[in-house]
Structure 1
Amino acid sequence: MPSPAQPHRNPPSERAALVFAIASILVFLGFSVWFWVQTPENVATHFDSGGQPDDWTSKAGLLWIFVPLGVGLPALLSIRPLYEKLPASLINAPHKEYWLERGEKTYLVDCLMELLRITAGLTALLVAAILVIIAEGARSATMSEWLTFVPTVIFLIATGLAVWRFYRKLTPPR
């Protein structure tokens, strides 16, 4: 059983996850500028089952929603002091009691922050992909199914792997 003074077998890469979250937010902001420059004033925002647009929104209105979502949510997920101050009873993590009983709340929060920051970066990239999908729809006037399917599947697989990593890191040593 590791003590607070001993290093863990697989310490979380919380800083790398923070760099990923920040880089993803910057990529999202870059795609937002590209979207503003490349798309017409009104863009299709909903498509019927045949891939034909059936609802339109101004690009300014769309960015008014997407920029706070693509920057704000990932930023909120990345602010460590918010989660450090949470009472342990509000943290829902596997094997939480094991780590708290050993005085390892810092390790628990490190693992949580790694998960949240990876999820934050993936969220920013997913919202950037949605902007690209909308821009492509504006160019071609139809929406191919693979264009929406691929980013969603990548997001779900990557998020699932991050959750699996979180679980593995918090599984007590044998």
Structure 2
Amino acid sequence: MAVGSGESWQQREERRRQVAREARLMAREPAGWLPRLVLLVATVAWLAMLAWLVQTLPERVPTHWSGGGTPDGWSSRPVAVAVVVLLPLVLFFPMIWISRLVMVWPDGVNAPHKEWWLDRPRRLVRFERLLREDLMLIVAVSVLLVVGIGLIMGYAAHQPGGAVPAWWFAVLIVGYLVLLTLLVVWMYVSARYRPDDDDPELA
């Protein structure tokens, strides 16, 4: 069955594989300064929070709370620290490497105007950089969520009964979801992924 351009889907897939092979041989474009700065700030905040927890947490730490802010789950200090260490290391920071997926499986990544970006090796290299920058911002926001959780946990550990104001969690989660939603909406509605045939490198 032929597609709109006159090529079959098999020909299209082979052409995209060839584009990806050529793109993998090209140098990666460096990420912009703003995503790198935001990720650096989030990482420094996370490391500072870890240092504070290691120095100040008691042996028994509240790690889960009821809807009213009363703790209903407790852990040892090593377990509590391990949670805020492993969440970013295992779950969030590796997300940045997803951008490399476009070089191996271009169809597996969705973005506005994807057909245009997958059509040329240089475009695919630029596409990978744009996606990497967006993932840096998403990871930074997610790491800051862990920072907020760690700060609440560290504060609660020194309060009578380990209780904290219940609204803290609502503010933290809602703030995270709002920032994450704004980032995704910005990715899709801004001119960031708009085809640019005026750029001589991409035309």
- TM-score (norm: length of structure 2): 0.70
Q: Quote how far apart the aligned CAs of 1:65 are.
A: 2.5
CA contact (8 A) 1:74 1:117 kept: no
Aligned counterparts of 2:98 and 2:65: Cα–Cα separation in 1: 39
CA contact (8 A) 2:63 2:153 kept: yes
1:137-156 maps to which residues of 2 (within 5 A)? 137-140=156-159, 141-156=162-177
1:86-97 maps to which residues of 2 (within 5 A)? 86-97=104-115
Give CA deviations for 1:137-158 in whole Å, capped at 9, x if unaligned: 2222212122112222222122
Letter in 2 for 1:115: D
- 1:72–1:21: structure 2 CA closer, same or farther, 3 Å change rule? farther
Q: Is 1:35 the equivalent of 2:53?
A: yes
1:13-162 maps to which residues of 2 (within 5 A)? 14-79=32-97, 82-83=100-101, 85-101=103-119, 104-140=123-159, 141-162=162-183
Question: For residue 9 of structure 2, what is the aligned residue in structure 1?
Answer: none
Q: Quote how far apart the aligned CAs of 1:55 are.
A: 1.2
- 1:132–1:105: structure 2 CA closer, same or farther, 3 Å change rule? same
Letter in 2 for 1:96: K
CA contact (8 A) 1:71 1:124 kept: no
CA contact (8 A) 1:43 1:56 kept: yes
Structure of greater Rg: 2
CA contact (8 A) 1:25 1:71 kept: no
Higher RCO (CA-CA < 8 Å; seq separation 6+): 1
Q: Quote how far apart the aligned CAs of 1:116 are.
A: 0.4
- 1:71–1:26: structure 2 CA closer, same or farther, 3 Å change rule? farther
Q: Can you give the 5+ residue segments of structure 1 that lack an aligned partner in the other structure?
A: 1-11
CA contact (8 A) 1:51 1:144 kept: yes
Structure 1 vs Structure 2 CA RMSD: 2.5
Percent of pairs identical after alignment?
27
CA contact (8 A) 1:94 1:170 kept: yes
- TM-score (norm: length of structure 1): 0.80
Equivalenced residue count is 163
